Structure 1
Amino acid sequence: MPKFLIQAAYTPEGTQGLLAEGASGRRAAVDQVVTGLGGTVEAMYYAFGEDDLVCIVDFPDPVSMAAVSLRVKASGALRTRATPLLTVGELDEAARREVSFRAPGA
């Protein structure tokens, strides 16, 4: 299953919701949306600094990740970034593939 790193920052409205609902309430909501699309939450951590929340999630396909991203962003409660994650084996496979590329000016 494709794995994604999610980094999120709460908006002021989202922070108010977090304060009212608590971190465990938000964890339950994340679990529900991810499992509802056939995925799993591998890890979920709260942080402070540029990001308020960091998750690693597995989804059956990138379209599922995109669907969640669209709904979360549309809520206005969070600003998010999703980064696809590759295993060591997947990167080894990518490195072995022949790619025809010419650098600009070469």
Structure 2
Amino acid sequence: MPLYLSRFSYTPETWARLIGNPEDRSKAARSYIESVGGKLHGFWYAFGTHDGHCLWEAPDNASMAAVALAITGGGALDSFETTVLLSVEETLDALQKAGHVGYRAPGA
């Protein structure tokens, strides 16, 4: 199954609710991905541009998109970005295929 890395940031209102009622949100994240047949591999909070990161596995892009849409539709997040992660083997396959694409730079 494909792996996905999501980065998210809470709204100030969400942080205020969590301060008033601390909650382990990794349990919620796990239930969301499991509802589409996937698996949560990790859930971390962080300093920096994003408040947190999740590493998950989903059966396909549509399943991961469904989870992302449901989460962002809830209104608790200021941002939510997901990146599809490629294995080394997938990247090597892509590199081999790229050699046959025949790309031409603009104006060349």
- TM-score, normalised relative to structure 1: 0.90
SS of match in other structure, 1:6? strand
Amino acid at match of 1:17: R
The gaps in structure 1 that reach 5 residues or longer are: none
**Which of structure 1's runs of 4+ aligned residues deviate more than 2 A?**
16-23
Higher helix share: 1
| SS of 1:32 mapped into structure 2 | helix
Alignment-mate amino acid for residue 96 of structure 1? Q
Q: Distance in 1 between matches of 2:29 and 2:21?
A: 13
Aligned to 1:17: 17
The answer to whether structure 1 residue 36 and structure 2 residue 21 are counterparts is no
Which moved further from structure 2: 72-81 or 1-10?
Answer: 72-81
User: 2:71 aligns to what?
Assistant: 72
Pairing 1:1-106 to 2, within 5 Å after superposition: 1-24=1-24, 26-78=25-77, 79-97=79-97, 98-106=100-108
Write the letter of the residue equivalent to 1:91.
Answer: T
Residue-by-residue CA offset, 1:26-46 (whole Å, 9 max, x unaligned): 111111011111000111111
- Asked whether the equivalents of residues 41 and 55 of structure 1 are also in contact (C-alpha less than 8 Å), the reply is yes
Cα 1:49/1:99, change in 2 over 3 Å? same
C-alpha distance in 2, partners of 1:70/1:10? 15
> What per-residue deviation string (whole Å, max 9, x for no partner) do you get for residues 26-73 of structure 1?
111111011111000111111122111111100000001111111111
Which secondary structure does the structure 1 equivalent of 2:42 belong to? strand
Q: CA RMSD in A?
A: 1.3
Kept in 2: contact 1:42–1:57 (CA 8 A): yes
Structure 2: any 5+ residue segments left out of the alignment? none
